[in-house]
Structures are given as C-alpha cells and as structure tokens.
A and B are shown apart, each in its own frame.
Chain A
Amino acid sequence: MTRERLLNAALVLALFAVPAWALWADEPFTITLATRAVIFALAAVGLNIALGLGGLVSLGHAVFFGIGGYAMGILASHAQNYTPIMEAPFLIEGTKSMPIIWLVAVLASGLAAWLIGLLSLRTSGVYFIMITLAFGQMAYFFATSWPTYGGEDGLSIYVRNGFPGLNTLVPIQFYGICLAWLLLVLALNRALMRSRFGLALNAARQVPDRVRAVGLDPPRLQLVALVLSGAITGLAGALFADLNRFVSPTMLSWQMSGEIMVFVIIGGVARLFGPVAGAGFYVLIEHWLGGVSEYWQIFLGLVLLLVVLFGKGGLVGMIAGARK
C-alpha cells in the first residue's frame, strides 16, 4: 500500500469516524461542520477534474455552485408557496424532492458549463481565467438584480427537502446523503482518471500538439471535462443550499470560486483526495481560528502561501510524496 493510499484510507475513515463520534457525544454542530466540509469537498472534486486533469484554471466555478443552489432554491420556493414555476405552454411545478432537485441542478450546471466552455475554450491561460471570471460576475450580478428570487437577499427555504425513506432534518441522515455522493463521485473520478478519456485529457493538458497529431481534438476533450466538472460542482451547490436552507448570490460570487480553488490547491491539484483534504482543512481552521480572531483568513492566506511555495502537491503531496 502506498503512502497516498494510506492517507486516502485515513481520510475516508475520518469521514465516518468524526460524525460517528459527534453522534455519540451529542454534538450536532460538529455534524453540520462535517457536512459543510463534505459538500465543499464535492464541489472541489468537480473543479479538480477541470483544473487538475484538464489544466483549465477556472475562476468561475461559483457559477455552477450557485446554479445548483438556485436550482434547489427556485424549485423548493415554488413548492413551499404552492405556486407553479410556469403554466404555459405546459405546467411546471416546484418540488421538495431531493432527487429531482439534484437532477435539475446537474443538468442546469452542466448546460451552463457547456455554454461557457464553448466560448471560453477558444482562449487559454490568463485569458481563460478572465473569461470564466467574467461569466461568474455576470451570473452574480444577474442574481442580485433579479427580484423574483430574492435578489440580493437570497431565498430562504423553511424545511429541508426530502429524500424517500430518510428524515433529512436529522443532521446525521443528511450528512449520510452528502457523504454517499462524495464517495460515489470520488469513485467515478478515480475511474475517469484511469480511463481512455482521462489519458487523453491528461495528455491534452501537457502536450496539446501531440494529442492533435494522434488525431484527437484537445478543446473537445476539455469541453467534456468542463461539463463533467461543472455538473459535479452544481450538485454540490444544491446540497449546500439544502444544508443552509438558504441560497443567495454569495454562492455565485468570485470569492466562492476562489474558495473552491483554494480547497483544491491546499489539498493537492490533480490528486484524487486533494479536494477532500483541502476542504476538510479549510473547514477546520475556519472553525478553530474563526473563534480566535475574525481575521482568521490571514492565517489561511499564510497556509496557502506555504503550500504553494514549498509543497507543490498540496497537503496530499506533502504527506504522500510526489505523484507516480
């Protein structure tokens, strides 16, 4: 067993052990914190496909996170107000059902990623960063100025959405749903990294000329990667909105995009469990240092600086060594 596998196993163990302890010690707030970490990790797993595997430095992933959030907010707010979303040409009603909300979140954020990708993948490097940032800002200002769904104030959903057979209001049960998603998506991501598509995408990041010369089209590979990436981050957004029972334009802000990127970079770019380590670490120091000083992000900045300067593979790289 390599050190990276041991580390990954330890992280998975922690994902089960921490909430189990919290349940035993009757610390529901710890479970909420863990849920937050798991959802952030899921969002970052999404970004890691574009950033780590595809080499696409997207500073606009909050768009997908926010679209997922608003998919939940819009569907659930119509359901709780008993108003249809639209009546003509056919009736669409809101819903409080998580599976339907997830499906809508994934499809909507995937579609958004496809559209953004079509335009932004004509560029690369710093221009790609700027275009994705610009799309993020457009989505943010659109949401703040659209009064139907709360505008700047956001949307509150009074009761958490339902999942057949579970009481999602019980923190540990909602945590279970989020953890199941994270583990499933990590398993899919692991398969993706070893698949034909993963091999081609990985090469397209390193030597696009070679990939063209063997008859493949790097921008198409990257577009598909961005759609998968956006869809996963959108799913995380729907779960995040359900965790808080609230969605606001903050989820679409560029700071949110930056935070998701920080999870990936602190944890380890292109490492399977990098986003998990990064998001877990972030939530931990947000909680601990946030209690010590309201300027806790100074310390986060310091950590980020150290990781970028000295630990090229992020936390996973520092603990488990260079990637094989």
Chain B
Amino acid sequence: MTAVLAATDLRKSFGALKATDGVSLTLREGEIHAIIGPNGAGKSTLIAQLCGSLAPDAGTVSFLGCNVTAQPVAARARMGLARTFQTSALAMEDTVLQNALLGALGASGKPWHFFAPVARDRGLKGRAEAALDAVGLADLRDVRTADLSHGQRRQLEVAVALTLEPKAFVMDEPMAGLGQEGSAQLTSFLADLKRTAPILLVEHDMDAVFALADRISVLVYGRIIATGTVDEIRRDAAVREAYLGDEA
C-alpha cells in the first residue's frame, strides 16, 4: 500500500543537538500511526518538518506522492494536509462558527472576496457547520472561542481540521488536558475518523494510543528506535527500557 505521507531520512540539528536524526516513517491509507516518545524526543520538531513550518537540514517529505520538502505550510494545507496544534491555535476573539468558517475558507482557496458577507455564504457555512456537528460543537456555534472550556477548544481544533476535508491529519497531542471522559470521547471519534483520512497521531495518553493505533513509532533522542503494531511495541525490549517502563 502506498504511503499518503512519508518522511525519508529527515535530519534537523539545532547547534550540537540532533533534534531529528535520520527519521523515516510512513502514514498509510486508513491507518492511525502513533508517534510516542519521552519529552524532548523531538516529536514537535518532527511535526513541524512534516507540516512545513520548519525546513529539514536533509531528507525529504512527500505527500500524496509529491515531494513537498520545499513547500510552505499553506501549500501543504491546500494539498490536503490538516494539522491540529498542541496548544490550541484559534482566533479567540471570534466565534466558534467563525473559526470553522476560516477552515472552510482556507479549503476553498478563495479569500479574495471583499464585499459579500461570509455569514450568507451557504457553501462555506454548510461545510463549517458539518464539521462542528461532527465534533459535537453545533450548539456552541455563536459562543466566543475565548469562552470555551479547554476540552471544547480541543474539539474545535479538530473541527477546523475537518473543514479542510483533508487527505491526511497530523494531530499534535489532541488529548492533552482533556480528562478521562473527554479522552474517551475523542478516542472513539478518531477511531471513526481514520476511515475518512489517515491520522499521524502524536500523543502522550498511552491508553488512547494503544486503543487507537494501527502502528506505533517510538521516537527517542531524535531517532525512531522501533516501529510496529501495538503488540510488537509492547513486547519490544528497547522500547520498554527507553520509555514504557514496567507499567506496559
């Protein structure tokens, strides 16, 4: 099966620190590929290179069969790469619906309308409302984003990604700070979502990772020390030593 998103021998150093040290990985159609690793393993740096906000020193990123290593964030997003941020990146002054509309607007690729009110734009609105419906925020559409709870902001992050109708998701710790019930809800949501588009999931919540992931890659000191199914990773001695400890 061909990879939707692939990194080949990515390298990125900050001075003497090798934040990404020869990382290769693939995200295949229909799967959730989780990346786990201790703090400082280089997960965020890796995501930044996959999404285009950071240029690698060496190696390539390809998306949908195209080499996108030199493409900026916006170009990759227009191709269908949707990301969610670890700390919510939402327009706090705007309403929930406006944030979702922004995603739909980005997906349309046509921001150069200066007169027609966006609120009466049926195409955009339909897309935005469908995404809010999917994550269960439809009732809060007119609430200011700043007034949302932490968990609701995480849901909105996912909704904005949904409006892009992407070919792949990159999610940076979507469960962060959600609490048990919230995590469980999002877990079942993501389990369905992977049928829409594959998900590269960076996550600390091990219950969620083990419940969701088809494959897991373990990142330690900028290197992937193991990739495999949940069972393979649980059994891997090197992983147990580096990361999982005895609890696994």
**A contact residues vs B (CB 8 Å cutoff):** 188, 191-192, 194-200, 202-203, 206-207, 209-217, 221, 224, 323
Stretch at the interface among B88-96, B195-203, B237-245: B88-96
Q: Which residues of B contact A213 (CB under 8 A)?
A: 51, 73, 77, 82-83, 85, 89
Contact indicator A215/B77 (Cβ below 8 Å): yes
Contact of B72 (CB < 8 Å), options: A192, A206, A211, A212: A212
Contact indicator A210/B53 (Cβ below 8 Å): no
B119 within 8 A of A: yes
Contact with A along B31-58 (1 / 0, CB 8 A): 0000000000000000000010100000
Contact indicator A214/B92 (Cβ below 8 Å): no
The smallest beta-carbon distance between A209 and chain B, in angstroms, is: 5
B78 within 8 A of A: yes
Contact indicator A216/B106 (Cβ below 8 Å): yes
The smallest beta-carbon distance between A304 and chain B, in angstroms, is: 24
B116 within 8 A of A: yes
B102 within 8 A of A: yes
- Chain A residue with Cβ nearest B110: A196
- B contact residues, total (Cβ < 8 Å): 41
Beyond A206-B92, A214-B77, A216-B106, whether A199 also contacts B116 by CB under 8 A is: no
Contact indicator A197/B72 (Cβ below 8 Å): no
Contact indicator A214/B98 (Cβ below 8 Å): no
Once bound together, how far apart are the Cα atoms of A164 and B217, in whole Å? 74
Q: Which residues of B contact A200 (CB under 8 A)?
A: 102, 105-106, 111
B5 within 8 A of A: no
Contact with A along B70-83 (1 / 0, CB 8 A): 00111101100011
Q: Which residues of A contact B72 (CB under 8 A)?
A: 212, 217
Contact indicator B107/A215 (Cβ below 8 Å): yes
Beyond A211-B102, A212-B53, whether A191 also contacts B115 by CB under 8 A is: yes
Once bound together, how far apart are the Cα atoms of A216 and B113, in whole Å? 14
Once bound together, how far apart are the Cα atoms of A90 and B85, in whole Å? 58
Contact of A195 (CB < 8 Å), options: B98, B109, B114: B114
Beyond A212-B72, A215-B78, whether A206 also contacts B94 by CB under 8 A is: yes
Task: Show 8 A/B contacts (Cβ-Cβ < 8 Å), sorted by A.
Answer: A188-B114, A203-B94, A203-B99, A210-B160, A212-B73, A213-B85, A214-B160, A215-B78
Beyond A214-B102, A214-B103, A214-B160, whether A199 also contacts B115 by CB under 8 A is: no
Q: Which residues of B contact A211 (CB under 8 A)?
A: 102, 106
B112 within 8 A of A: yes
B121 within 8 A of A: yes
List of 6 A-B pairs having minimum Cβ-Cβ separation, nearest first: A214-B106, A215-B77, A215-B78, A196-B113, A212-B73, A215-B106
Q: Which residues of A contact B51 (CB under 8 A)?
A: 213
Q: Which residues of A contact B160 (CB under 8 A)?
A: 210, 214
The smallest beta-carbon distance between B83 and chain A, in angstroms, is: 5
B118 within 8 A of A: yes
Once bound together, how far apart are the Cα atoms of A196 and B128, in whole Å? 13
Contact of B91 (CB < 8 Å), options: A197, A202, A224: A202
B15 within 8 A of A: no
B179 within 8 A of A: no
Contact indicator B89/A199 (Cβ below 8 Å): no
Q: Which residues of B contact A221 (CB under 8 A)?
A: 111
- Chain B residue with Cβ nearest A196: B113
Once bound together, how far apart are the Cα atoms of A199 and B160, in whole Å? 14
- Chain B residue with Cβ nearest A323: B93
B10 within 8 A of A: no
Contact of B117 (CB < 8 Å), options: A194, A216, A323: A194
